Amino acid sequence: MYKWHQVLLLGACVLLAGGCNQHILTDYRPLDRAGMWSSNIEQLKAMNTSDAEVAQLVKLKQAGLSDDACVALVAAARARQHPFVSGDSTGNLVAAGYSEPQILEIAKVDQLDSISGELVALRLIGLSNSTLEFVLHRRLQGRATLSSSAIAHLKNTGLTEKQIIERINQGMTDAQAEHEVKNREAVRNHSNTGFSRVRGRRPG
């Protein structure tokens, strides 16, 4: 016959083994020290945030991300039924100058890790905000878009951003872009190989 404390212990073990993934011992003090408001910490507690997630959020707070954005990132991960594991990708986007609304838009479709590298590369190319927004939305919509390297190569041959956008809208692939790059470079190199004949007096 089970004693009551044994029954309670067994019940607790069953509960913990049931896949609840409770993080009842999570230490939220690092977030408090990072300057997060207690009300936002309470929201994270309600979402059963783990120590690993707290550590990532502390880094993002130190990178300048707001409390509300941190909470929203965890909420977006929960909506996709997985923990928030994209701290590094998010931090890279913050460092590259992407806004919180843009980052949260990416998080809501669960693409932080899959496209952050490309987006950072696009920022390094020096594209305008409007062109970045255009490329970002195409990627989030799952529409075909030139890679950052193809865009950079086209830009280096002298194409304007408007011309590059026109080619993207026309469905240009990376292979087609590289073909155009080679043609444009060949024309440019050919134009630089001309020579002029030196005219002088004929010997008397």
Name the percent of the chain in helix, strand, coil, to the closest 5. Answer: 65, 0, 35
Q: Is residue 165 part of a domain?
A: no
Mean predicted confidence (pLDDT) in 142-163: 96
What is the per-residue pLDDT for 202?
54
Q: Per-residue pLDDT tens for 177-196?
A: 999 999 999 988 887 655 44
Q: Is residue 2 part of a domain?
A: no
Q: Is residue 59 part of a domain?
A: yes
User: Domain limits at 58?
Assistant: 24-113
Q: Is residue 138 part of a domain?
A: no
Q: Is residue 17 part of a domain?
A: no
Q: Is residue 164 part of a domain?
A: no
Q: Is residue 134 part of a domain?
A: no
Q: Per-residue pLDDT tens for 35-82?
A: 999 999 999 999 999 999 999 999 999 999 999 999 999 999 999 999
Count of structural domains within the chain: 1
Q: Is residue 126 part of a domain?
A: no
